[in-house]
Structure 1
Amino acid sequence: MRIALGLEYDGRAFSGWQSQTGRPTVQDALERALGVIAGESARLHVAGRTDAGVHAALQVAHFDTQVQRPLSAWVRGVNSHLPDSVAVRWAVESEGDFHARFSAFGRSYCYLLLNRPVRPALLSGRVGWHHLPLDVDRMGHAARFLLGTQDFSCFRAAECQAKSPVKEMREATVRRIGELIIFEFAASAFLHHMVRNMVGALVHVGKGAAEPEWVAQLLQDRDRRRAAPTFAPDGLYLCGIDYPDGLGLPDRGRLRADPLPGMTL
């Protein structure tokens, strides 16, 4: 039996998703809690690994088990053994040939950036921060150059292990709510540090250091060294996974509403 889980977590206390010797990870915390409820070890497979300090509003994972438990046990039971920074949102017995990673055909991220002169206190670690005024219209114009299927080498980390830098960017938007700027991206897949590097480039445009067309030139040059610095992980959230119909997942792995309505200022 294969159980699919919808997860959310605050990444500040973890060294990323993937299990690492001697470091706290989201995977280890979840597998320990699942093991308590299952009475046996459980191995999780995830839609996409997140880095240290990166959050998830909706991550999807699965595990296989022969143990019979009500679905509520995989939610409330597991949550009772998790730290406050991790929660199972839902659990379903998957249908068809479901795999959390390989069944996905898209992923969505958002980046929350506090744009004010003073650094955050209440939202420290949960939002990025930039002290200079940013022009959202200029950043939105620049974001349109990210759309389509193209080579994203200029936004790829040196340690990225993806086989190809070519991805399809389906959505790239920038909007402001008060002091909070929200960057939203949806793509077939993402390279290592790709979102944080794109945000860095858009902020570079937003503060007037480059014209919006500079982003198009970066993509054409395919040279990471010409782009802006990588932005901090603090404001980055995995916001959902796209799956085909017929797999029995709530809302096909996507959030139904604004990813973080409680975070708007």
Structure 2
Amino acid sequence: MPRYALLIEYDGAPFHGWQRQSTLPSVQGTIEQALARLEPDLPSIATAGRTDAGVHALGQVATVDMARDWDPFRLSEALNHHVRPAPVSILRAVRVAGDFHARFSAIERRYLFRLLQRRAPPALEREKVWQVRQRLDLQAMRDGARHLLGRHDFTTFRSSICQADSPVRTLDRLEVTALARPDGTEFRFDVRARSFLHNQVRSFVGTLERVGAGAWSPEDVRTALEARDRAACGPVSPPGGLYLAGVGYPQDPFA
């Protein structure tokens, strides 16, 4: 059976996460229903990472085995037709080797979190950014983020329902930048690692927001990390500002 990789963009707001659910809308379920219009009885698709309810994707990757030998462009066009009107877009479909797997072949996941500091609530970007009203100190957040880089036990920064076998992960990048806007300032958190724990990125951002607001010092982030205690974490940021920005592979199938 020919295998295809799909590069997927979606608005996570109307979905209860990526993973297929029996009664609730999901991104996986939406794409699989579209695939079933093309070929019945297909196996389920595999994904690089299961996003939570309300989390978006700019570059999610999934793999699927088809019975027919589809032209990749026609496959993407057909899927985009059948997923309508759901806010899901197949950016590209490519034929890949049979041993390529969206999850197990990945060597990096990249996340983007958008935090908007302004007084008025966002009307056009509701559920696309996390809006806070107080001013934030960019340098303080950068100083706090440095304590999280590298290989650590991230028990403090993972959900209590996380099913990962180990809380140890290596965080390769956590860069905070600020973009001036006419209505305020947008802070962007670029986070990269081979793999992440459940709610890890949102826990990072919620904690660093407290640093930016002056409620925590940058050193408090290190203290929380070393506590290895979920109770030591700052508040978890809401899902609407989080985007799965991309997935890295030894050889990019979409290049």
- Tell me the TM-score range normalised by the shorter chain: over 0.9
What residue is the counterpart of 1:66 in the other structure? 67
Alignment-mate amino acid for residue 164 of structure 1:
S
Separation of aligned partners in 2, 1:224 and 1:194: 11
Separation of aligned partners in 1, 2:22 and 2:66: 25
What residue is the counterpart of 1:127 in the other structure? 129
- 1:184 alignment partner, one of 183, 186, 190: 190
Separation of aligned partners in 1, 2:62 and 2:225: 32
SS at match of 1:129: strand
Separation of aligned partners in 1, 2:41 and 2:199: 35
What residue is the counterpart of 1:57 in the other structure? 58
Shift of 1:39: 4.6
Q: Does 1:211 align with 2:227?
A: no
Alignment-mate amino acid for residue 163 of structure 1:
D
Contact kept? 1:196, 1:231, Cα under 8 Å: yes
SS at match of 2:121: coil
Q: Does 1:250 align with 2:254?
A: yes
Alignment-mate amino acid for residue 191 of structure 1:
L
Question: Runs of at least 4 residues of structure 1 off by over 2 A?
Answer: 37-42
What residue is the counterpart of 1:262 in the other structure? none
Contact kept? 1:109, 1:184, Cα under 8 Å: yes
Alignment-mate amino acid for residue 250 of structure 1:
F
Alignment-mate amino acid for residue 242 of structure 2:
L
Shift of 1:121: 0.8
Separation of aligned partners in 2, 1:229 and 1:55: 20
Shift of 1:84: 4.3
Contact kept? 1:126, 1:234, Cα under 8 Å: yes
Deviations 1:143-197 (A, max 9, x none): 1111101111101101100111111100101011112110110012111011111
Separation of aligned partners in 2, 1:8 and 1:67: 24
Higher mean Cα deviation, 80-89 or 13-22?
Answer: 80-89
Q: Percent identity?
A: 42
Separation of aligned partners in 1, 2:172 and 2:75: 33
Contact kept? 2:112, 2:244, Cα under 8 Å: yes
Contact kept? 1:34, 1:42, Cα under 8 Å: no
Shift of 1:95: 2.5
What residue is the counterpart of 1:11 in the other structure? 12
Contact kept? 1:112, 1:183, Cα under 8 Å: yes
What residue is the counterpart of 1:88 in the other structure? 90
What residue is the counterpart of 1:157 in the other structure? 159
Contact kept? 1:14, 1:53, Cα under 8 Å: yes
Separation of aligned partners in 2, 1:233 and 1:146: 20
Separation of aligned partners in 1, 2:191 and 2:60: 15
What residue is the counterpart of 2:207 in the other structure? 201
Higher mean Cα deviation, 165-174 or 32-41?
Answer: 32-41
- 2:236 alignment partner, one of 203, 224, 230: 230
Alignment-mate amino acid for residue 19 of structure 2:
Q
Separation of aligned partners in 1, 2:75 and 2:149: 38
Contact kept? 1:156, 1:191, Cα under 8 Å: yes
Separation of aligned partners in 2, 1:227 and 1:5: 36
SS at match of 2:152: strand
Structure 1 pair 189–45 and aligned structure 2 pair: CA distance change class (3 A): same
SS at match of 2:139: helix
Contact kept? 1:37, 1:73, Cα under 8 Å: no
Aligned residues: 249
Contact kept? 1:149, 1:167, Cα under 8 Å: yes
Alignment-mate amino acid for residue 122 of structure 1:
L
What residue is the counterpart of 2:45 in the other structure? 44
Contact kept? 1:15, 1:24, Cα under 8 Å: yes
What residue is the counterpart of 1:254 in the other structure? none
What residue is the counterpart of 2:77 in the other structure? 76
Alignment-mate amino acid for residue 202 of structure 1:
L
Shift of 1:105: 1.5
